[in-house]
A = this chain, B = another copy of it.
Amino acid sequence: MQAKSEVAAAELSRDEIAENVRRLFSPAADARAWENEERLNAVIQNFLRTTKINTPVTLDELAASFTSSVIPDGPGEVGEYLDYLVERVVAHSTHTSSPRFIGHMTSALPYFVRPLSKLLVAMNQNVVKVETAKALSPYERQAVAMLHRFVYDRPADFYEQHVQESESTLGMLVSGGTLANISALWCARNSSLRAKGEFAGVAVDGLPAALEAYGCRGAAVIGSSLMHYSIDKAADLLGTGTRGLIKVPTDGRGRIELSALREAMSDCRERRRHIIAIVGVAGTTESGAIDPLERMADIAQDAGVHFHVDAAWGGPLLFSRRHRRKLAGIERADSVTIDGHKQLYLPMGTGVALMRDPHATAAIEKHARYIVRAGSSDLGRRSLEGSRPGMALFLHAALNIIGARGYEMLIDESLRKTLYMADAVRARPEFQLLQEPEMNILSYRYVPGPWRERAERGRLSDEDNRAINRFNEELQKAQRQSGYSFVSRTTLDYTPQGGGLPVTVLRAVIANPLTTEEDIDSVLDDQLMIAANLPAEVGG
């Protein structure tokens, strides 16, 4: 690509360059543009129908084809770039929507997001301000209000009052769950260390001055050891440091130990550490475990501490009349993270931080003279990001088209299929189920022949477990490399089977509506086949 463009450009005059560039920006698509578009449509259709997950190319081989770092002179031909793109990039991209790719939180998406993405880019609204997003601004507010009501279910007149009130913020639409968690904890820190007396608040005077003003020796965020690593980022960013992040142990199923939480809190009080927030997890990334939210809400309320729930994965469980009780108490959280690109089936890049109190985000408000002026309806006044795209298009469309009953069906089916997979794991003596699934993430491992009997009797030594860990790591890598099916792997240190040792587990995430019971059997049978060809003693 690059070499060719350089040659081509050397021959172009200034006028030809101008003409070629102008053609790229023309609002009227010409015949060649349509041809390129038609071609991409075919590429997309082909990509979506492919169930094989990966080509066998290695990462090193791939990397070797992306090493040049000079921007070509150009302008080049769009068609020529598409040739390159299809051959080098699309061909070796991961088929995240394959029904046998059940290892990460990606899935097939509803088809309407594809044409909508073109509309989104064509309109290219900038939601930071009304002047560049006239209709999108109130439209985004509505979509966020729908999610707020879905989680908090406050009275109808609450929503009538706040949905389009520019001084209210029911939630912040951000690029993902990480920013949602950071935004919520940013609000929590700033609200809890607000101005008093001479002290102008942590947002103005900073964290060291805040601790002095409040007579504290440190600041902390408390949650279980299974909090998402974005909370580590938040603690680092917000100035408490990761040592300010207190991770308390979980029970054998990955749920926070309430007694340990209470202890950590009273320890903070004794040592005069200010508690910024306690964090409940509604669906750990490792295994889908859900913290006891109702009890945590009680504890937070008693202590007068901000309660944040990271429901990036699990939030949409609320759609299910059968399963929603698992999240009981979430409606008492001060802030809730939900990821659109997980179980709302939206394209990558959509997170939401919902705020119970519509004025809580005043604690992070910022202004500028050219935009986001005080009193304006600009959504950028209270947000971590500045300029940002109209991702609300996907969210609003999906909430309206899939609807509450459609989402309920998706959630119920995912959980049903996960139980199917748990049974399928149990039915194969080579596997060991490590945890009864609470949601749609399944943790299990392969136990090679030599250890199977001891595993059944619960008599594995640490050395045995280490050998089994190595085996499962190799098994997961070999399956990934084969390209026919995929589960991910993680490490759990709380499962009884590990006897205190971290256990390497195979981790299945069942969320793709295209995944059938047959696919699940297939993924497991692939693993049996691959395992049969691996030596029982790996590395070590």
Contacts and interface: CB of A to CB of B under 8 A. Distances in A.
A303 interface: no
Given A17-B409, A93-B135, A402 B24 contact: yes
A124 B108 CA distance: 9
A397 B116 CA distance: 21
A230 B349 contact: no
Interface in A29-80: 29, 33, 36-37, 40-41, 43-45, 47-49, 54, 59, 62-78
A498 interface: no
Nearest to A55: B134
A43 B119 CA distance: 8
16 contacts: A27-B48, A28-B48, A40-B116, A59-B134, A62-B138, A66-B142, A66-B163, A69-B146, A71-B146, A74-B400, A74-B403, A77-B401, A228-B368, A229-B366, A229-B367, A233-B364
Interface in A208-265: 208-209, 211, 218-219, 228-230, 232-233, 236-244
Interface string A410-428: 1001000000000000000
Interface residues of A, number: 183
A537 interface: no
A178 interface: yes
Contact of A366 (B90, B134, B232): B232
B405 A17 contact: yes
A237 B383 CA distance: 12
Given A131-B480, A233-B366, 7 more contacts: A41-B118, A59-B130, A73-B403, A81-B400, A229-B386, A339-B387, A370-B507
B163 A9 contact: no
A111 B29 contact: yes
B410 A132 contact: no
Interface string A357-369: 0000000101111
A404 interface: yes
Contact of A24 (B110, B116, B124, B367): B110
A149 interface: yes
A286 interface: yes
A388 B175 contact: yes
A406 interface: yes
A285 interface: yes
Contacts of A136: 89, 93
A399 B73 CA distance: 9
A341 B108 CA distance: 28
A513 interface: yes
A218 B229 contact: no
A241 B106 CA distance: 38
A137 to B, nearest CB: 8
B114 A96 contact: no
